[in-house]
Structure 1
Amino acid sequence: MDALGKIYNVASIVTMNSNNKLNGITVAWITRVSIKPPMIAISIGKKRYSYTLLEETDKFGVCILSKEQKELAKFFGSKSGRNTNKFENIDYELTKNGIPKINGSVAFFECKIVNKADAGDHVIYIGEVINEELLKIEQPLLYGEHQLL
Protein backbone atom coordinates (compact mmCIF):
# COMPACT_ATOMS: atom_id res chain seq x y z
CA MET A 1 0.00 0.00 0.00
CA ASP A 2 1.25 3.45 -0.88
CA ALA A 3 0.34 6.81 0.67
CA LEU A 4 -2.53 7.31 -1.80
CA GLY A 5 -4.07 4.14 -0.41
CA LYS A 6 -4.63 5.98 2.87
CA ILE A 7 -7.35 8.11 1.26
CA TYR A 8 -10.67 6.60 2.30
CA ASN A 9 -13.99 7.20 0.57
CA VAL A 10 -17.45 5.71 0.54
CA ALA A 11 -17.85 2.75 -1.77
CA SER A 12 -20.42 3.52 -4.45
CA ILE A 13 -21.79 2.05 -7.62
CA VAL A 14 -22.20 4.54 -10.46
CA THR A 15 -25.07 3.44 -12.68
CA MET A 16 -26.06 4.47 -16.18
CA ASN A 17 -28.49 3.71 -18.98
CA SER A 18 -27.37 4.44 -22.51
CA ASN A 19 -29.85 3.45 -25.22
CA ASN A 20 -31.30 0.76 -22.91
CA LYS A 21 -27.84 -0.62 -22.06
CA LEU A 22 -27.72 -0.72 -18.25
CA ASN A 23 -24.38 -0.78 -16.50
CA GLY A 24 -22.77 0.00 -13.19
CA ILE A 25 -19.24 0.30 -11.86
CA THR A 26 -17.89 0.33 -8.33
CA VAL A 27 -16.04 3.56 -7.59
CA ALA A 28 -14.38 5.20 -4.63
CA TRP A 29 -13.52 8.43 -6.41
CA ILE A 30 -16.62 10.51 -5.76
CA THR A 31 -16.96 13.87 -4.05
CA ARG A 32 -19.30 16.79 -3.58
CA VAL A 33 -18.20 19.80 -5.61
CA SER A 34 -21.02 22.35 -5.14
CA ILE A 35 -23.75 23.11 -2.63
CA LYS A 36 -25.86 25.44 -4.83
CA PRO A 37 -26.65 23.88 -7.12
CA PRO A 38 -25.83 20.49 -5.57
CA MET A 39 -23.18 18.74 -7.68
CA ILE A 40 -21.14 15.56 -7.45
CA ALA A 41 -17.96 14.60 -9.31
CA ILE A 42 -17.10 11.01 -10.23
CA SER A 43 -13.92 9.69 -11.83
CA ILE A 44 -14.13 6.88 -14.41
CA GLY A 45 -11.22 5.18 -16.19
CA LYS A 46 -11.07 5.75 -19.95
CA LYS A 47 -10.67 2.02 -20.65
CA ARG A 48 -13.87 1.10 -18.78
CA TYR A 49 -17.10 0.20 -20.54
CA SER A 50 -18.82 2.65 -18.19
CA TYR A 51 -16.76 5.46 -19.73
CA THR A 52 -18.05 4.50 -23.19
CA LEU A 53 -21.65 4.55 -21.96
CA LEU A 54 -21.27 7.84 -20.06
CA GLU A 55 -20.00 9.42 -23.26
CA GLU A 56 -23.29 8.38 -24.92
CA THR A 57 -25.68 9.71 -22.26
CA ASP A 58 -26.29 12.78 -20.11
CA LYS A 59 -27.26 11.22 -16.74
CA PHE A 60 -25.86 8.85 -14.15
CA GLY A 61 -26.80 7.51 -10.75
CA VAL A 62 -24.73 7.03 -7.61
CA CYS A 63 -25.69 4.30 -5.13
CA ILE A 64 -23.88 4.75 -1.79
CA LEU A 65 -23.43 1.19 -0.56
CA SER A 66 -24.25 -0.24 2.84
CA LYS A 67 -21.80 -2.38 4.78
CA GLU A 68 -23.92 -5.41 3.83
CA GLN A 69 -23.24 -4.78 0.12
CA LYS A 70 -19.53 -5.59 0.11
CA GLU A 71 -19.94 -8.58 -2.25
CA LEU A 72 -22.05 -6.43 -4.57
CA ALA A 73 -19.27 -3.83 -4.65
CA LYS A 74 -16.74 -6.53 -5.52
CA PHE A 75 -18.98 -7.90 -8.27
CA PHE A 76 -19.62 -4.52 -9.93
CA GLY A 77 -15.91 -3.73 -9.64
CA SER A 78 -14.60 -6.97 -11.11
CA LYS A 79 -16.87 -7.71 -14.11
CA SER A 80 -17.14 -5.73 -17.33
CA GLY A 81 -20.53 -4.74 -18.64
CA ARG A 82 -19.18 -5.34 -22.15
CA ASN A 83 -19.80 -9.05 -21.72
CA THR A 84 -21.82 -9.35 -18.49
CA ASN A 85 -25.32 -8.16 -17.68
CA LYS A 86 -24.46 -6.88 -14.22
CA PHE A 87 -28.11 -6.26 -13.33
CA GLU A 88 -29.35 -9.77 -14.25
CA ASN A 89 -29.72 -11.00 -10.64
CA ILE A 90 -29.66 -7.64 -8.83
CA ASP A 91 -32.53 -6.10 -6.85
CA TYR A 92 -32.94 -2.70 -8.50
CA GLU A 93 -35.48 -0.32 -9.97
CA LEU A 94 -35.33 2.32 -12.68
CA THR A 95 -35.93 6.00 -11.97
CA LYS A 96 -38.34 7.97 -14.13
CA ASN A 97 -35.26 8.87 -16.22
CA GLY A 98 -34.33 5.19 -16.61
CA ILE A 99 -31.30 5.24 -14.27
CA PRO A 100 -30.80 2.04 -12.23
CA LYS A 101 -31.14 2.47 -8.44
CA ILE A 102 -29.85 -0.51 -6.45
CA ASN A 103 -32.15 -1.46 -3.60
CA GLY A 104 -30.51 -1.78 -0.19
CA SER A 105 -28.23 1.20 -0.75
CA VAL A 106 -27.77 3.82 1.97
CA ALA A 107 -28.40 6.74 -0.40
CA PHE A 108 -29.01 7.42 -4.07
CA PHE A 109 -28.28 10.41 -6.27
CA GLU A 110 -29.43 10.94 -9.83
CA CYS A 111 -27.31 13.43 -11.73
CA LYS A 112 -27.32 15.28 -15.03
CA ILE A 113 -23.84 15.61 -16.54
CA VAL A 114 -23.00 19.32 -16.73
CA ASN A 115 -19.24 19.19 -17.29
CA LYS A 116 -16.27 16.86 -17.59
CA ALA A 117 -12.52 17.15 -17.35
CA ASP A 118 -9.64 15.02 -18.55
CA ALA A 119 -7.68 13.55 -15.62
CA GLY A 120 -4.86 11.38 -16.96
CA ASP A 121 -6.20 7.86 -17.43
CA HIS A 122 -9.61 8.93 -16.06
CA VAL A 123 -12.33 11.45 -16.88
CA ILE A 124 -14.01 13.44 -14.14
CA TYR A 125 -17.74 13.82 -14.74
CA ILE A 126 -19.50 16.60 -12.86
CA GLY A 127 -23.18 15.94 -12.34
CA GLU A 128 -25.85 18.26 -11.03
CA VAL A 129 -28.02 16.36 -8.56
CA ILE A 130 -31.58 16.24 -9.92
CA ASN A 131 -32.86 13.70 -7.38
CA GLU A 132 -31.52 12.47 -4.06
CA GLU A 133 -32.84 9.91 -1.62
CA LEU A 134 -31.66 8.95 1.86
CA LEU A 135 -32.65 5.29 2.01
CA LYS A 136 -31.09 4.07 5.29
CA ILE A 137 -29.81 5.77 8.43
CA GLU A 138 -26.47 3.96 8.79
CA GLN A 139 -22.79 4.29 8.03
CA PRO A 140 -21.85 3.40 4.44
CA LEU A 141 -19.29 0.87 3.27
CA LEU A 142 -15.83 2.40 3.02
CA TYR A 143 -13.28 1.91 0.27
CA GLY A 144 -9.83 1.74 1.81
CA GLU A 145 -7.39 -0.43 3.68
CA HIS A 146 -9.07 -3.55 5.16
CA GLN A 147 -12.55 -2.28 4.24
CA LEU A 148 -13.13 -3.25 0.61
CA LEU A 149 -11.21 -4.80 -2.26
Structure 2
Amino acid sequence: MDANTRKTVMRMFTYGLYVVTSRSDTDRGAFLANWLTQCSFEPPLVVVAVEQDAHSLQVLRAAGRFVVNVLESGQREQAGWFGRHSVKVGDKLANRDLHRTPSGQIVLPEALAWLECELRSETPAGDHVLVVAEVSDAGTVRDGTPLQLKETGFKYAG
Protein backbone atom coordinates (compact mmCIF):
# COMPACT_ATOMS: atom_id res chain seq x y z
CA MET A 1 0.00 0.00 0.00
CA ASP A 2 1.23 3.46 -0.83
CA ALA A 3 1.38 5.50 2.41
CA ASN A 4 0.71 8.83 0.68
CA THR A 5 -2.39 7.48 -1.06
CA ARG A 6 -3.65 6.03 2.22
CA LYS A 7 -3.10 9.37 3.96
CA THR A 8 -4.85 11.27 1.16
CA VAL A 9 -7.90 9.01 1.29
CA MET A 10 -8.13 9.01 5.10
CA ARG A 11 -7.98 12.81 5.10
CA MET A 12 -11.11 12.81 2.93
CA PHE A 13 -13.11 11.51 5.89
CA THR A 14 -15.21 14.23 7.48
CA TYR A 15 -14.49 15.07 11.12
CA GLY A 16 -15.89 17.53 13.58
CA LEU A 17 -13.70 19.14 16.23
CA TYR A 18 -14.66 18.93 19.87
CA VAL A 19 -13.06 19.86 23.17
CA VAL A 20 -13.37 17.02 25.66
CA THR A 21 -13.17 18.17 29.28
CA SER A 22 -13.12 16.18 32.49
CA ARG A 23 -12.76 16.86 36.20
CA SER A 24 -11.94 14.33 38.89
CA ASP A 25 -11.70 15.00 42.63
CA THR A 26 -8.03 15.97 42.27
CA ASP A 27 -7.39 16.98 38.67
CA ARG A 28 -8.89 18.25 35.43
CA GLY A 29 -8.02 17.98 31.78
CA ALA A 30 -9.05 19.03 28.29
CA PHE A 31 -8.08 17.95 24.80
CA LEU A 32 -9.11 18.47 21.20
CA ALA A 33 -10.86 15.44 19.69
CA ASN A 34 -11.81 14.78 16.11
CA TRP A 35 -12.15 11.00 16.21
CA LEU A 36 -15.49 11.05 18.02
CA THR A 37 -18.86 9.68 16.95
CA GLN A 38 -22.18 8.35 18.16
CA CYS A 39 -22.13 4.54 18.18
CA SER A 40 -25.55 3.57 19.62
CA PHE A 41 -29.09 4.94 19.81
CA GLU A 42 -30.24 2.92 22.82
CA PRO A 43 -28.59 3.44 25.10
CA PRO A 44 -27.15 6.65 23.62
CA LEU A 45 -23.41 5.98 23.33
CA VAL A 46 -20.46 7.86 21.89
CA VAL A 47 -16.93 6.68 21.25
CA VAL A 48 -13.86 8.91 21.34
CA ALA A 49 -10.26 8.01 20.50
CA VAL A 50 -7.81 9.30 23.12
CA GLU A 51 -4.02 9.12 22.81
CA GLN A 52 -2.65 6.39 25.10
CA ASP A 53 -0.20 8.70 26.86
CA ALA A 54 -2.55 11.67 27.24
CA HIS A 55 -2.86 13.23 30.68
CA SER A 56 -6.57 13.69 30.01
CA LEU A 57 -7.05 9.92 29.65
CA GLN A 58 -5.96 9.51 33.27
CA VAL A 59 -8.40 12.24 34.33
CA LEU A 60 -11.25 10.60 32.35
CA ARG A 61 -10.55 7.30 34.08
CA ALA A 62 -10.41 8.87 37.54
CA ALA A 63 -13.58 10.91 36.99
CA GLY A 64 -15.51 8.19 35.19
CA ARG A 65 -17.18 10.89 33.10
CA PHE A 66 -16.44 13.69 30.67
CA VAL A 67 -18.06 16.42 28.59
CA VAL A 68 -17.96 16.77 24.81
CA ASN A 69 -18.00 20.52 24.00
CA VAL A 70 -19.17 21.20 20.42
CA LEU A 71 -17.20 24.10 18.92
CA GLU A 72 -18.66 26.54 16.41
CA SER A 73 -17.48 27.17 12.87
CA GLY A 74 -14.89 29.94 13.03
CA GLN A 75 -13.47 28.87 16.42
CA ARG A 76 -10.16 27.68 14.95
CA GLU A 77 -8.11 29.56 17.57
CA GLN A 78 -10.04 28.00 20.45
CA ALA A 79 -9.64 24.56 18.90
CA GLY A 80 -5.93 25.10 18.40
CA TRP A 81 -5.44 26.03 22.05
CA PHE A 82 -6.65 22.58 23.11
CA GLY A 83 -4.75 20.77 20.34
CA ARG A 84 -1.19 19.58 19.90
CA HIS A 85 0.58 22.93 20.28
CA SER A 86 -0.50 23.11 23.93
CA VAL A 87 -0.18 19.42 24.73
CA LYS A 88 2.59 20.06 27.28
CA VAL A 89 0.94 23.14 28.80
CA GLY A 90 0.01 22.57 32.43
CA ASP A 91 -3.66 23.30 33.07
CA LYS A 92 -5.23 24.27 29.73
CA LEU A 93 -8.33 25.37 31.63
CA ALA A 94 -6.54 27.84 33.93
CA ASN A 95 -7.65 31.47 33.75
CA ARG A 96 -10.74 30.56 31.71
CA ASP A 97 -14.37 31.26 32.47
CA LEU A 98 -15.90 27.81 32.93
CA HIS A 99 -19.46 26.62 33.34
CA ARG A 100 -20.51 23.40 35.05
CA THR A 101 -22.98 20.64 34.38
CA PRO A 102 -25.36 19.77 37.23
CA SER A 103 -22.89 17.03 38.26
CA GLY A 104 -19.97 19.49 38.31
CA GLN A 105 -18.25 18.61 35.04
CA ILE A 106 -16.68 21.38 32.94
CA VAL A 107 -18.49 23.09 30.05
CA LEU A 108 -16.75 25.74 27.93
CA PRO A 109 -18.94 28.85 27.64
CA GLU A 110 -17.94 29.29 23.99
CA ALA A 111 -19.34 25.85 23.07
CA LEU A 112 -22.47 25.60 20.92
CA ALA A 113 -23.65 22.60 22.89
CA TRP A 114 -22.39 19.85 25.16
CA LEU A 115 -22.91 16.20 26.09
CA GLU A 116 -22.00 14.78 29.47
CA CYS A 117 -20.94 11.15 29.21
CA GLU A 118 -20.29 8.32 31.67
CA LEU A 119 -17.40 5.99 30.88
CA ARG A 120 -18.59 2.47 29.99
CA SER A 121 -15.60 0.71 28.41
CA GLU A 122 -12.16 1.10 26.88
CA THR A 123 -10.49 -0.75 24.03
CA PRO A 124 -6.81 -0.38 23.08
CA ALA A 125 -6.54 0.74 19.45
CA GLY A 126 -2.98 1.23 18.21
CA ASP A 127 -1.58 4.45 19.66
CA HIS A 128 -5.03 5.43 20.99
CA VAL A 129 -7.63 4.07 23.38
CA LEU A 130 -11.27 3.92 22.27
CA VAL A 131 -13.42 5.19 25.12
CA VAL A 132 -17.10 4.27 24.92
CA ALA A 133 -19.39 6.36 27.09
CA GLU A 134 -23.11 6.70 27.71
CA VAL A 135 -24.68 10.13 27.30
CA SER A 136 -26.14 11.14 30.69
CA ASP A 137 -26.95 14.82 30.09
CA ALA A 138 -26.95 17.37 27.27
CA GLY A 139 -27.31 21.08 26.79
CA THR A 140 -27.44 23.63 24.01
CA VAL A 141 -25.97 27.10 24.44
CA ARG A 142 -26.90 28.73 21.12
CA ASP A 143 -27.62 27.96 17.47
CA GLY A 144 -24.72 27.72 15.05
CA THR A 145 -22.76 25.51 12.68
CA PRO A 146 -20.32 23.03 14.26
CA LEU A 147 -16.60 23.39 13.51
CA GLN A 148 -15.16 20.88 11.03
CA LEU A 149 -11.54 19.74 10.84
CA LYS A 150 -11.29 20.65 7.15
CA GLU A 151 -12.23 24.29 7.89
CA THR A 152 -9.25 24.70 10.23
CA GLY A 153 -6.55 23.33 7.94
CA PHE A 154 -5.37 21.09 10.81
CA LYS A 155 -4.16 17.64 9.77
CA TYR A 156 -4.90 14.76 12.13
CA ALA A 157 -5.69 11.75 9.99
CA GLY A 158 -3.94 9.37 7.67
CA contact (8 A) 1:15 1:60 kept: yes
Aligned partner of 2:79 among 73, 79, 88:
73
Q: TM-score when scaled to structure 2?
A: 0.85
Give the C-alpha shift of residue 55 in structure 1.
Answer: 2.5
Counterpart AA for 1:57: A
Compare the two structures and name the one with the higher strand fraction.
Answer: 1
Q: Which residue of 1 aligns with 2:59?
A: 53
Alignment of 1:117-128 (within 5 A): 117-128=123-134
Give the C-alpha shift of residue 2 in structure 1.
Answer: 2.2
Does the alignment pair 1:85 with 2:91?
Answer: yes
Q: TM-score when scaled to structure 1?
A: 0.90
Gaps of 5+ in 2: 1-6
Go from structure 1 to structure 2 and tell me whether the alpha carbon gap of 1:26 and 1:106 turns closer, same or farther (over 3 Å shift): same
Q: Which residue of 1 aligns with 2:25?
A: 19
Aligned partner of 1:97 among 98, 103, 106:
103
Q: Which residue of 2 aligns with 1:4?
A: 10
Larger CA Rg, structure 1 vs 2:
2
Counterpart AA for 1:79: S
Aligned partner of 1:39 among 45, 48, 61:
45
Is the partner of 1:55 in helix, strand or coil? helix
CA contact (8 A) 1:70 1:148 kept: no
Compare the two structures and name the one with the higher helix fraction.
Answer: 2
What is the distance in 2 between the residues matched to 1:95 and 1:7? 32
Q: Which moved more, 1:63-72 or 1:85-94?
A: 85-94
Count residues with an aligned counterpart. Answer: 147
Is the partner of 1:6 in helix, strand or coil? coil
Go from structure 1 to structure 2 and tell me whether the alpha carbon gap of 1:91 and 1:67 turns closer, same or farther (over 3 Å shift): farther
What is the distance in 2 between the residues matched to 1:133 and 1:54? 20
Q: Which moved more, 1:85-94 or 1:102-111?
A: 85-94
What is the distance in 1 between the residues matched to 2:10 and 2:96? 32
Question: Where in structure 1 do 4 or more consecutive aligned residues deviate above 4 Å?
Answer: none
Q: Which residue of 1 aligns with 2:152?
A: 147
Identity of aligned residues (%): 24
What is the distance in 1 between the residues matched to 2:142 and 2:131? 26
Is the partner of 2:118 in helix, strand or coil? strand
What is the distance in 2 between the residues matched to 1:66 and 1:96? 23
Q: Which residue of 1 aligns with 2:116?
A: 110
Give the C-alpha shift of residue 103 in structure 1.
Answer: 0.7
What is the distance in 1 between the residues matched to 2:94 and 2:74? 19
Counterpart AA for 2:37: T
